[in-house]
């Protein structure tokens, strides 16, 4: 499928790191390094950093994202944030379904679906995370797991709404472990996801859907991963906390 139809997206997931002052400083460091990027550049920051990050990134090509949102518009959900509040703040992107949310906070395929629905309804762009556990890969059921996660998350999503979704394939066994899927392994699953999109929405929609890889991509392996035909960017963890490392990954999309 034609990779030229898709603009790569390199998104940093800062996780639970950086206070507002540190967030602003990191974005200031990043600005000159990515100003000529040929890809979309996103920094997904903790809730408390959103205001500072948005202010620091104002007028630049760096977009800001949140790391989660709730499925309800309001209510008795202590500690949660509705998508509409993120939109009102001026946040364009939100990560949904990250494996750490699934592993530590009880996220399920159905709550991922509901959060995705809420984010789209609020006018946010979604970075939708899917990926298998190490045990699932060893049992050779990666395809079944990833197809199920993706299909459930996209339940009720129209072809037009799909344009506001970036899918991030993140093998859970490669997140924060230092392990990385080989370029061939990563591309194989990304292609599988694209084939599922084609089944659900048609080839034209699949050709346009951005599918990232997000398992320990860094400045050293990014070039090899991004050269694969179905890898359209990355959801970057640890390397996104260092401006030069993150910028090197952004630069690798130009190859």
**Residue 105: Cβ within 10 Å count:** 10
In a 3-state reduction of DSSP, which class is residue 219?
coil
Considering 40, 107, 170, 219, which one is annotated as catalytic?
170
Residues whose CB is less than 8 angstroms from the CB of residue 11 and which lie 6 or more positions away in sequence, other chains included: 41, 42, 43, 44, 65, 93, 95, 127, 166, 168, 212, 233, 234, 235, 236, 240
- 170 given a catalytic annotation: yes
Cα separations in angstroms, 249 against 2, 22, 36, 119, 214: 22, 21, 13, 27, 12
- 98 given a catalytic annotation: yes
Considering 98, 100, 132, 219, which one is annotated as catalytic?
98
Residues whose CB is less than 8 angstroms from the CB of residue 148 and which lie 6 or more positions away in sequence, other chains included: 109
Catalytic residue numbers, as ranges: 98, 170
């Amino acid at each position: 499928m034609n990779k030229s139809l898709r603009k790569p997206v390199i998104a940093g997931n800062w996780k639970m790191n950086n206070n507002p002052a540190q967030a602003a400083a990191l974005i200031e460091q990043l600005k000159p390094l990515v100003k000529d990027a040929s890809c979309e550049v996103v920094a997904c920051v903790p809730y408390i950093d959103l205001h500072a990050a948005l202010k620091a990134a104002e007028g630049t090509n760096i977009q800001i994202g949140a790391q989660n949102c709730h499925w309800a518009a309001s209510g008795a959900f202590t500690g949660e944030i509705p998508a509409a509040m993120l939109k009102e703040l001026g946040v364009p992107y939100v990560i949904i379904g990250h494996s750490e949310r699934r592993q530590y906070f009880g996220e399920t395929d159905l709550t991922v679906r509901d959060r995705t629905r809420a984010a789209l309804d609020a006018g946010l762009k979604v970075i939708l995370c899917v990926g298998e556990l190490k045990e699932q890969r060893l049992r050779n059921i990666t395809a079944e797991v990833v197809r199920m996660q993706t299909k459930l998350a996209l339940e009720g999503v129209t072809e037009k709404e799909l344009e506001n979704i970036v899918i991030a394939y993140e093998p859970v066994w490669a997140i924060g472990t230092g392990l990385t899927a080989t370029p061939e392994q990563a591309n194989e699953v990304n292609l599988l996801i694209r084939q599922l999109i084609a089944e659900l929405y048609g080839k034209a929609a699949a050709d346009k859907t951005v599918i990232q890889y997000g398992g320990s991509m860094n400045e050293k392996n990014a070039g090899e991963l991004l050269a694969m035909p179905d890898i359209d960017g990355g959801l970057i963890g640890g390397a996104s906390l260092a401006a030069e490392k993150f910028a090197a990954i952004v630069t690798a999309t130009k190859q």
